């Protein structure tokens, strides 16, 4: 079986490669903008690599050639940064996704599995989980969420016009693994965050708000769900999340900290001000998403995919924090530990503040 993974060298892509390598008679093709080095090692070896900027003009034609003969395409490519250049993000996330789907149709690939997210959902409840039928119109004010919803709308049209194409949409919560420690620090916290303090297993102060309730899942468990979707015959959307729900109180208790009640407007203002000042790389849209993204039920994934998370959300968070503290990374460009990338301290000396410049 020939499987093409677009965005195969990032957080989820690395885990998907690890998982698919366990299957027999699977030929792996990776499509990325920047290729892993030939000596990158597992899981990047034994993969047929192609370079393509999916947002560039003519990308659909290039991708169609790469997709020729594929049994399935897994579309994981997505840009989080540079947050101060929304044009760049839309170019990759929306127009790049359009190119991937166009190429799937041109090449006659029978199945596509798309990396959606809890972020595709409209604002929803924090006291009970929702199914995959919840509206997928996104959270207003979050460009990440709006882009996810726009791409799902593209898929709606493709499914109507091409009913023989098997389309699967995976909608996970936050995705953690130890090896993503440096990457997630760069993309979401920036160079000034004192992540080294996490090695003591303590977070002194944890902002709390009744709407700050989020779900997470380990990257290896997400990769298992993707693999089951690719190798099976399912269609449609699947929520993917592990227990327990991560609340500020739970995090404070397990990391020996104190909760500090903070009103939603204060959280939004703090994020906006520090982002505009180039002190950290994420805008207030991420606060909006955290406050409004609904809790999800993974019942469909459990029933139809036979999927069960092996690692709890809390354990996944502990693993991520350990990776942040120790600067864990992989040799792939998106997960690199290079000190001069945007979002790392050395980049400040080169006038590369967080949220600007391409960190991939």
pLDDT band at 359 (very low <50, low <70, confident <90, very high): low
Window from 82-86, 91-95, 339-343, 347-351 with minimum mean pLDDT: 347-351
Give per-residue pLDDT as tens, 186-211.
999 999 999 988 988 889 999 999 99
Helix intervals (H) in 162-312? 181-184, 219-231, 248-254, 264-276, 284-292, 299-300
Neighbours of 327 (CB within 10 A): 14
What is the structure's pLDDT at 348?
Answer: 80
What percentage of residues in the chain have a pLDDT greater than 90? 92
Reply yes or no on whether the pLDDT at 350 is more than 90. no
What percentage of residues in the chain have a pLDDT greater than 70? 99
Window from 21-35, 50-64, 341-355 with minimum mean pLDDT: 341-355
CB 172 within 8 A of CB 208: no
Residues of the chain with CATH 3.40.50.720: 2-174+216-241
What is the structure's pLDDT at 22?
Answer: 96
* Tokens read off for 243: 């227990």
Q: What is the pTM of this model?
A: 0.96
245 phi/psi in degrees, rounded to 5: -65, 135
Give per-residue pLDDT as tens, 220-233.
999 999 999 999 99
Task: State the Cα–Cα distance between residues 192 and 195, nearest whole angstrom.
Answer: 9
What is the structure's pLDDT at 349?
Answer: 76
Work out the average pLDDT over 205-218: 96
Work out the average pLDDT over 249-264: 96
What is the CATH code for 2-174+216-241? 3.40.50.720
What is the structure's pLDDT at 215?
Answer: 98
What sign for the dihedral angle of Cα 339, 345, 349, 355? positive
Reply yes or no on whether the pLDDT at 213 is more than 90. yes
Strands 214-218 and 242-246 come out as antiparallel
pLDDT band at 308 (very low <50, low <70, confident <90, very high): very high
Neighbours of 26 (CB within 10 A): 15
pLDDT band at 360 (very low <50, low <70, confident <90, very high): low
Give per-residue pLDDT as tens, 69-123.
999 999 999 999 999 999 999 999 999 999 999 999 999 999 999 999 999 999 9
Task: State the Cα–Cα distance between residues 78 and 6, nearest whole angstrom.
Answer: 10
Work out the average pLDDT over 278-286: 96
Taking all residues of the chain, what is their mean pLDDT, rounded to a whole number?
96
Give per-residue pLDDT as tens, 98-113.
999 999 999 999 999 9
């Amino acid at each position: 079986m020939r499987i093409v993974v677009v965005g195969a060298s990032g957080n989820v892509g690395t885990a998907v490669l690890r998982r698919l390598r366990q299957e027999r008679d699977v030929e792996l093709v990776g499509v990325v903008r920047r290729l892993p080095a030939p000596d990158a090692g597992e899981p990047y070896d034994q993969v047929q690599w192609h370079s393509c900027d999916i947002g560039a003009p003519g990308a659909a034609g290039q991708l169609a050639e790469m997709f020729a003969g594929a049994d399935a395409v897994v579309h994981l490519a997505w840009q989080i940064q540079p947050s101060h250049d929304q044009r760049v993000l839309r170019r990759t996330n929306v127009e790049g996704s359009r190119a991937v789907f166009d190429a799937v149709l041109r090449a006659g690939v029978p199945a596509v599995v798309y990396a959606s997210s809890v972020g595709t959902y409209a604002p929803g409840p924090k006291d009970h989980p929702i199914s995959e039928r919840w509206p997928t119109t996104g959270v207003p004010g979050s460009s990440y969420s709006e882009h996810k919803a726009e791409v799902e709308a593209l898929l709606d049209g493709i499914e109507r016009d091409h009913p023989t194409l098997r389309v699967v949409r995976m909608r996970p919560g936050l995705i953690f693994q130890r090896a993503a420690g440096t990457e997630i620090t760069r993309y979401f916290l920036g160079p000034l965050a004192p992540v080294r303090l996490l090695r003591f297993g303590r977070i002194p102060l944890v902002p709390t708000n009744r709407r700050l309730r989020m779900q997470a899942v380990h990257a290896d468990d997400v990769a298992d769900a993707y693999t089951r979707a690719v190798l099976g015959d399912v269609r449609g959307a699947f929520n993917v999340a592990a227990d327990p729900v991560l609340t500020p109180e739970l995090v404070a208790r397990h990391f020996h900290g104190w909760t500090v009640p903070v009103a939603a407007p204060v959280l939004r203002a703090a994020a906006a001000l520090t982002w505009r000042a180039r002190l950290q790389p994420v805008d207030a849209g991420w606060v909006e998403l955290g406050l409004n993204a609904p809790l999800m039920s993974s019942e469909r994934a459990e029933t139809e995919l036979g999927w069960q998370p092996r690692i709890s959300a809390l354990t996944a968070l502990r693993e991520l924090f350990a990776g942040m503290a120790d600067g864990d990374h992989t040799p792939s460009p998106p997960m690199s530990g290079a000190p001069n990338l945007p979002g790392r301290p050395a980049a400040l000396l080169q006038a590369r503040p967080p949220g600007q410049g391409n960190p991939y």
